[in-house]
């Protein structure tokens, strides 16, 4: 048997649904748009202040060593049964000078100064974790933002600082926080991170989704009545924006969600999340340019719209299939009628709506060629701003081609799962073609684009979600195994 890779995909079960925000129900819509823009700018300002404060602190303390990480009782923290190394990816504790109320005497004092005289420092601590330190930096920079939103920002910045650098990074730093401290910049990186996009975190603890009377989580009586009344015949979302320091009388917002623009499957997801069947996770409010409504294309491009990127956890559904029965998925040559084939014993199916993909791709390609030839002949697309007009008209066709391939891959993965359920196959072997194999595949013979990486990722996710074991076999390893190497 050829040697193969045994890769069990991680089933996180996390899904993302992007829904456009509609009219505001708790305030005028124009005021809500202005508030979202204000909070988005304040969030970007707070994140940038966190990174700059982290950099300045390390510039003032060049010889700082975090040392061994210990618990509250003094015992060392363990990582997979072993003590954590001294050189942490990010200092696990940082000395901070800020005012903190003592838990016992309720007084105030500098954490790095002498301990509180009434409790000998037992009620306060002089070391805090970086996420808490970044949280207080953000609160000082943007006091109007809600506390839970700022906590999500500090966690996001902390995770970004702990990220590993790519293999082609020009420098000796292994993590991003080290590159910021050492002033190293590589391909696609910057020395200092500056946040400019309009994005507002929507923590799960303060975000509520209502759909046709169902509410995702329990609320106080007053807030629950407001959300229930607004969601009686539509879909609404409630989220917090401002803090008590902002002086706002109404610190949250209730907005109608445009669920009619969603497909029936996505509306079903929205209903499951609102009813509590699927757990809602920390989400975000994102502003996208060019998504606004306008009578002309130029006006629609200039305007934008706010979207709710709803993050949810989809529970795993184990189909209980026989793991000893294995289905084999492999790509076919250009002379075949289908691009893929799946077989398990005597059963064999051809996968993919090949005729539909070929006809639609040819139509879109002909449309794109016609636009390029028209602008080339008339001369508008040769120089100056005319080239921008050409790309503006061709860009929707390019997106349509990518969406077509995306839907085709979804259909392929669904057919594989349907085949496994039909013939009780609890294991799938995917024979991935190499570079030469892809050049001789059905897609290359027809001159069509196909995203092989996306197909493997979606197949891995679906197999893990349904409890199907997935193995990938590469042709090079199979050839060496057959030769006895």
* CA–CA dist 381, 387 (Å, integer): 4
* Alpha helices by DSSP H, 337-474: 354-378, 386-422, 435-439, 442-446, 452-465
* CA–CA dist 480, 390 (Å, integer): 50
What pLDDT is attached to residue 221?
Answer: 59
The dihedral region occupied by 120, where left means phi > 0, alpha psi between -120 and 50, and beta the remainder, is left
DSSP assignment of 294-313 equals -SSHHHHHH-EEEEEEEEEE
Listed as ranges, residues in the chain with pLDDT below 50 are 1-11, 68-69, 79-80, 84-93, 95-126, 186-188, 190-191, 294-301, 381, 478-485
* CA–CA dist 275, 54 (Å, integer): 42
What pLDDT is attached to residue 263?
Answer: 84
All structural domains of the chain with their residue ranges: 14-45+198-313, 46-60+88-182, 318-482
What pLDDT is attached to residue 71?
Answer: 54
Token pair listed for 431: 């024979």
pTM: 0.66
What pLDDT is attached to residue 474?
Answer: 82
What pLDDT is attached to residue 79?
Answer: 45
What pLDDT is attached to residue 78?
Answer: 52
What pLDDT is attached to residue 386?
Answer: 57
Question: Using H for helix, E for strand and C for coil, what is the string for 13-56?
Answer: CEEEEEEEEEEECCCCHHHHHHHHHHHHHHHHHHHHHHHHHHHH
What pLDDT is attached to residue 328?
Answer: 93
């Amino acid at each position: 048997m050829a040697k193969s890779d045994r890769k069990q995909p991680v089933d996180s079960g996390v899904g993302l649904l992007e829904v456009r925000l509609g009219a505001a129900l708790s305030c005028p819509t124009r005021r809500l748009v202005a508030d979202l823009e204000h909070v988005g700018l304040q969030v970007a300002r707070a994140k940038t202040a966190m990174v700059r404060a982290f950099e300045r602190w390390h510039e003032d303390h060049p010889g700082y060593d975090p040392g061994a990480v210990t618990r509250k009782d003094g015992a060392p923290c363990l990582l997979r049964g072993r003590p954590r190394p001294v050189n942490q990816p990010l200092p696990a504790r940082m000395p901070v000078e800020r005012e903190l109320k003592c838990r016992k005497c309720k007084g105030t004092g500098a954490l790095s100064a002498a301990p509180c005289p009434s409790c000998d420092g037992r009620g306060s601590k002089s070391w805090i974790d970086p996420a808490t330190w970044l949280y207080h930096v953000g609160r000082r920079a943007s006091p109007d933002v809600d506390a839970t939103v700022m906590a999500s920002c500090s966690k996001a910045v902390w995770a970004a600082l702990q990220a590993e650098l790519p293999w082609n990074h020009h420098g000796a730093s292994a993590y991003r926080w080290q590159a910021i401290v050492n002033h190293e910049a590589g391909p696609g990186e910057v020395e200092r991170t500056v946040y400019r996009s309009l994005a507002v975190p929507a923590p799960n603890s303060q975000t509520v989704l209502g759909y046709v009377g169902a509410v995702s989580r329990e609320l106080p009586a007053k807030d629950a009545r407001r959300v229930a009344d607004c969601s009686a015949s539509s879909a609404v979302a409630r989220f917090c924006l401002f803090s008590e320091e902002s002086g706002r009388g109404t610190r949250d917002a209730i907005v109608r969600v445009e669920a009619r623009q969603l497909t029936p499957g996505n509306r079903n997801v929205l209903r499951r999340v609102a009813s509590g069947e699927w757990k809602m996770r920390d989400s975000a409010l994102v502003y996208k340019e060019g998504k606004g409504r306008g009578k002309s294309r130029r006006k629609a491009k200039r305007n934008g719209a706010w979207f709710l990127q709803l993050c949810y956890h989809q529970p795993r559904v184990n189909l209980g299939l026989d793991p000893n029965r294995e289905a084999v998925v492999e790509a076919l040559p250009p002379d075949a009628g289908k691009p893929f084939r799946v077989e398990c014993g005597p059963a064999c199916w051809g996968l993919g709506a090949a005729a539909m993909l070929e006809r639609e791709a040819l139509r879109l390609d002909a449309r794109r060629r016609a636009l390029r030839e028209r602008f080339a002949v008339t001369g508008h697309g040769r120089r100056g701003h005319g080239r921008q007009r050409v790309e503006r008209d061709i860009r929707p066709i390019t997106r349509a081609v990518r969406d077509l391939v995306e839907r085709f891959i979804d259909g392929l993965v669904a057919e594989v799962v349907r085949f496994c359920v039909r013939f009780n196959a609890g294991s799938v072997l995917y024979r991935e073609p190499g570079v030469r194999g892809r050049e001789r595949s059905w897609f290359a013979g027809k001159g069509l684009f196909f995203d092989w990486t996306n197909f493997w990722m979606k197949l891995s996710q679906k197999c893990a979600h349904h409890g199907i074991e997935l193995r990938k076999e590469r042709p090079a390893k199979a050839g060496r195994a057959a030769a006895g190497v």
